[in-house]
Amino acid sequence: MAMRSVGGVLLRVSRYWIIGMLVLAACGRPDGTRGEASEPSEDETASDPDGDDPTLRRRAMAEWFDERRTGLDESFSIEFRKRMLRTAEQERQRWSTLLPGPKRAGPITGTSWTNLGPTKANKLVNGVTLHVTDSGRVRTIIVDGSTIYLATAGGGVWKRTDGVWTPITETIGTLSCGSLAMDPANHDILYLGLGDPLDRTSTGLGMLKSVDGGATWSSPVFVGFSSVITQVMVDPNDSTIVLAGTDLGLYRSTDAGATFRAVPVAESLGQVWSIASTGAGSFVLSNQNGGAGQVFTSADHGATWTPAAGFTSSSGVARITVASAPSNPSIVYGVAATPFSTLADFFKSVDAGRTWTALGATSKSYINPNGESSTVGTILGNQGWYSQLVIVSPTDPDTVYWGGQLALAKTTDGGHTFRLLSNWLAQFSLPYVHADHHTAAVDTSGNLFVGTDGGIFESTDGGTTFTDALNEGVVTHLLYSVSSSQNAPDVVLGGMQDDGTRLRVGTSNVFDQVIGGDGIGTDVNRTNAQQMLGTVQYLQVRKSTNGGANWSSAITGIADSGNTATAPFYTRLVPWEGSTTGNDIFTCSLSKIYKSTSYASQWTTVGTIPTSDSIRNMGVAASNINILGVVTALGHVLLSTDGGASWTTASALPGDPWGLSWIHFDVSDPNTVYVASVDTFVVHHLWKSTNFGATWTVIDNGLPANAPVNVIKSDRAPAPGQAGQVLYAGTHMGVYRSTDGGASWVDSAPACRW
């Protein structure tokens, strides 16, 4: 998505911090109805702060990038994705001599950039303290003997050989994966379907193939007009046949992935969620068309399909995931969510998916119930659209593992009884597995591997115990922000999707969690690194005064905090870079600018914009705290010279100024203003004014064509004679640098792009 390389790596550039994944950590109105946000506790270390909400996050992400399509589409358009793939190819050719090899791993060498990780955590804090580690969201796990492949939502594909993880898709043009499959007849052949189906704001598009175990990859083959490939399946009986389940139905290749054709499974198939082999060229498939899910079967290698019978529920069926038993492929299990994303039921088929029986799981109690999960009906929580898992033991068709929101469960009698195996906080004498289960694999020895929002977890004893050790070395966290202190640059704080707010341990690549849930905006005081701020959704700010050891609420004076109607989903922190104390900082709601001179101990409203518009982001001049700027949802640039008491609307930006993402005043001259855009439909994404908004010039010449710009910054310590000339732009294609005030751009970090 943003300038992230080697997965969710934190990158430090000399003299200046560039923020990875800051693309979303800004003020902007999310789309649609939002759930209520809870008030932050007074002591974050003594409460349960987990407040991540994938439904609201997905809506907010979609609206942030394409605000004009509010409620109409929750993913990047196929046209935009194709443009980004073409742009990525152009940039690879342009900077080919500087790009890393396909297997480049470890710290990035050179004088400008250093890979800071995270590669590990010593502890996670989510109301309780756990001494475990994690990584980012997993889409597919493939275990091939001692080799493991991990396809992730936003960190690309990783391969583990000889106990070492290596990223193998760093230069393909995207890090967003939908599904990875291995040819059963030739384990060197891999198929990678691009596009995360859950957040769906990626530039991934099409199918890639590798014939050398991921060392090299083909150019993408577009699969119809689909923008997401949710599952790839190679026919175990005929390797020339490859099935691709997409957001626009099923596609089939009969030439080993060279071309794909749509298969008319149903009149309108919608999203295909999963495909399972039922032996001898037969398959079972699950789909969701709007709020309705169905199951289909094929007996002719996926050429034609027939609706299954019995996969119904009185509460309705939406998303479905299916899995067959390797030891008896005619036995198939399914998990289904209701249209309201709760559990509809677990299902079982003994005739290769043609007919199904509901197991009545919603009302069944676990063998080992607890206060959080008493009945099986709680397993999906209310996010069955987001997290589902079912996998069958390779040796016993009656042994099945089920996953959902907070816990993993198991049946050993074909679905009559169920036992809890894990807990997201290691409570109730259960082992820890991170929340939100998405995928799983079982190797030939019966070892179970589970993929979650927090990475990969392994059990070697059928789920009695789990280890998180495989996460170590996998750099795939989804970062929203990263910050540091000018006086203590080794202190690093970052906000991550569903993996909390993380603090660097010393000068290592280890980052420990200090706040749970979704970590959004962050800040470390520029003069006193013992003071730091973290945030969660809807303007909920936390503060630490002892280097991250303890955190408390810091919302006094923010009337909009926790208000889902007036606060942005992504909470933003804007420090004043000219502060001598480090205590001057700003944040914003959808209509108000808040300022603190006491480092968030107290906030004051200093500016309000018309209610007909809404704030997407704000900036403050480093040379003058009273010079403020705002970019709005209607494409306006508002400027103030009196600390927000009054506002002037700058002249209109040339072109089509939608999706404004960033406003920045040059550190040496506040009359020079930069504005960026992340809209996916516009041509230009970066503008400059040298007369405080009276006129504007497009300055994206030399940046990747049509690529959204997430952040623009001027160098606070340029070389002599370079004041106002050195700029950094964070784009969808990486970090770029200009030494002539934006007239031209060069790739600033080709070794850590894509």
Residue 648's pLDDT is 96
pLDDT for residue 202: 62
Both tokens assigned to 483: 């910050």
Count: domains in the chain: 1
Whether residue 326 contacts residue 392, with contact meaning beta carbons closer than 8 Å, is answered with yes
Alpha-carbon dihedral of residues 232, 160, 435, 437, nearest 10 degrees?
20
Is residue 585 in some structural domain?
yes
Written in H, E and C, the secondary structure of 278-343 is EECCEEEEEEEECCEEEEEEECCCCCCCEECECCCCCCCCCCEEEEEECCEEEEEEEEEECCCCCE
Q: What single-letter DSSP state applies at residue 356?
A: -
Which structural domain, as residue segments, surrounds residue 24?
11-82+475-752
DSSP class per residue in 687-753: EEESSTTSS-EE--BTBPTT--EEEEEE-SSPPTT-TTT-EEEEETTEEEEESSTTSS-EES-GGG-
> pLDDT value at position 624?
97
- pLDDT value of position 41: 33
Judge whether 169 lies within some domain: no
Q: For residues 661 and 698, what is the distance between their CA atoms, to the nearest angstrom?
A: 15
C-alpha distances in angstroms, 531 versus 37, 116, 490, 598? 25, 21, 14, 11
User: Beta strand 709-714 with 727-731: parallel, antiparallel or unpaired?
Assistant: antiparallel
204 by Cβ neighbours in 10 Å (0-12 / 13-18 / 19+) ranks as buried
In 3D space, the residue among 708, 704, 687, 689 whose CA is nearest the CA of residue 745 turns out to be 704
Please report the pLDDT score of residue 203 as a whole number. Answer: 66
Looking at residue 610, what is its pLDDT? 82
Residues of the chain with pLDDT under 70: 1-52, 67-75, 92-112, 200-203, 267, 749-754
DSSP character string of 168-214: --TTSS---EEEEEEETTEEEEEEEEES-TTT--S---SEEEESSTT
CA–CA distances in Å: residue 334 to residues 321, 323, 346, 398, 527: 6, 6, 6, 13, 56
Using an 8 Å Cβ cutoff, are 391 and 401 in contact? Answer: yes
| Confidence (pLDDT) at 734 | 81
Q: Which two tokens stand for residue 427?
A: 């409570």
Query: Which pLDDT does position 656 carry in this prediction?
Result: 81
Asked if the structure places residue 216 within a domain, the reply is no
Q: What is the DSSP letter of 264?
A: -
Q: Cβ(731)–Cβ(707) under 8 Å? A: yes
Closest CA to 24 of 710, 749, 740, 735: 710
Residues in the chain: 754
Looking at the domain assignment, is residue 405 inside a domain?
A: no
Q: Does 536 fall in a domain?
A: yes
Q: What percent of the chain has pLDDT over 90?
A: 70
**CATH classification of the domain holding 28:** 2.120.10.30
Residue 95 confidence (pLDDT): 65
